[in-house]
């Protein structure tokens, strides 16, 4: 099993995604002799998982069933254990596009955090690229190394435990792109410039506060970066549901009532289609936004080394 290569069969030691529904799924490490509890009953790894194909429908001990999915960066972002706040697919998609990443690219990242963006970057630059990721917190760095090894991508990533603002990324003039997600990114702009290739490398900085963005942009200008621009990515989710609305009064009944020969006092005219139309309702499908949602994640600042 690898996050960058698809495997057909579930093996001992794999990371798999147990899918109960679109709003309910979780990762599990497949181990011989282990069981996993779900609301539909027990899943026995030895008999229910190992040797089965990914995507299989597995019946639990209570009679309910789940699907076992092959892990991808998208599914991992939705289900990973949170050691820090993470980036989600909306921001990740813009980052990979605006940094112009492709297979073979060399990327520097700080900090690693929970590894949400890291897995997406690794898949994008595979099979010949490489990710150099720096994490200040020692335990988070060690956990990231462990996850990359379990997920079969350790040959595509180098994890370093150090302060990027003081010690940089540990590489010079080789990176096609640099990503910063740290409290004071302006202090690391010089090291990012040193890590980037001689000309044309791209940089992105993620910050939740506009004051951080202002200081970062000033630092980028001081170090000669060009094409500096900041984006705010807003996600708005809609639910599709059936709603009922009254048919509007467009004045048609009034025109018909005033037409020659129409007698409103005549009982036969009281039940005319026009009269019923004004009091009716119609049902149709509509997209309705959620009452509460996350409206702001942060600001993405991009620039080019000149």
Residues annotated in a binding site for S-adenosyl-L-methionine: 114-117, 135, 163, 181
Matching residue, tokens 């929970």:
114
55: number of Cβ within 10 Å:
12
**Exposure of 165 in the CB half-sphere (CA atoms within 13 A):** 9
Return the H-helix or E-strand segment holding 43. strand 41-44
- Pair 112, 118: CB distance under 8 Å: yes
Q: How far apart are CA 97 and CA 77, in angstroms?
A: 18
Burial 136-156 (b: 16+ CB within 10 A, else e): beeebbebbbebbeebbbeeb
Q: How far apart are CA 106 and CA 90, in angstroms?
A: 22
Structure tokens at 218: 């000033």
| Cα-to-chain-centroid distance, residue 72 | 11
Burial (CB < 10 A; 0-12, 13-18, 19+), residue 234, is exposed
Structure tokens at 29: 């490490």
Q: Which of 303, 296, 302 lies closest to 233 in space, CA to CA?
A: 296
Q: How far apart are CA 140 and CA 114, in angstroms?
A: 8
The alpha carbon dihedral of 90, 95, 101, 107 has a sign of negative
Q: Which residues are annotated as a binding site?
A: 114-117, 135, 163, 181
């Amino acid at each position: 099993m690898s996050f960058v290569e698809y495997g057909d069969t579930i093996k001992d030691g794999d990371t798999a995604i147990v899918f109960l529904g679109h709003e309910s799924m979780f990762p599990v490490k497949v181990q011989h002799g282990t069981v996993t509890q779900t609301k539909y009953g027990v899943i026995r790894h030895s008999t229910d998982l190992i040797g089965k194909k990914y995507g299989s429908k597995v019946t639990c001990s209570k009679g309910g069933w789940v699907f076992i999915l092959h892990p991808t960066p998208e599914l991992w972002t939705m289900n990973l254990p949170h050691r820090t706040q993470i980036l989600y697919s909306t921001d990740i998609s813009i980052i990979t596009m605006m940094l112009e990443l492709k297979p073979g690219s060399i990327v520097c990242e700080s900090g690693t955090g929970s590894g949400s963006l890291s897995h997406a970057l690794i898949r994008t630059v595979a099979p010949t690229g490489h990710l150099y990721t720096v994490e200040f917190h020692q335990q988070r760095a060690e956990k990231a190394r462990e996850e990359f090894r379990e997920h079969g991508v350790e040959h595509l990533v180098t994890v370093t435990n150090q302060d990027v603002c003081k010690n940089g990324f540990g590489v010079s003039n080789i990176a096609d792109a640099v990503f910063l997600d740290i409290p004071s990114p302006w202090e690391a702009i010089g090291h990012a410039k040193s890590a980037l290739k001689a000309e044309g490398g791209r940089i992105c900085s993620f910050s939740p506060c506009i004051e951080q963005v202002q200081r970062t942009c000033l630092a980028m200008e001081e170090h000669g970066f060009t094409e500096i621009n900041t984006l705010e990515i807003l996600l708005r989710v809609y639910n599709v549901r059936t709603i009922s609305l009254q048919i509007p009064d467009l004045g048609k009944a009034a025109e018909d009532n005033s037409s020659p020969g129409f007698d409103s006092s005549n009982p036969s005219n009281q039940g005319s289609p026009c009269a019923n139309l004004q009091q009716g309702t119609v049902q149709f499908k509509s997209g309705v936004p959620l009452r509460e949602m996350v409206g702001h994640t942060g600001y993405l600042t991009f620039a080019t080394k000149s």
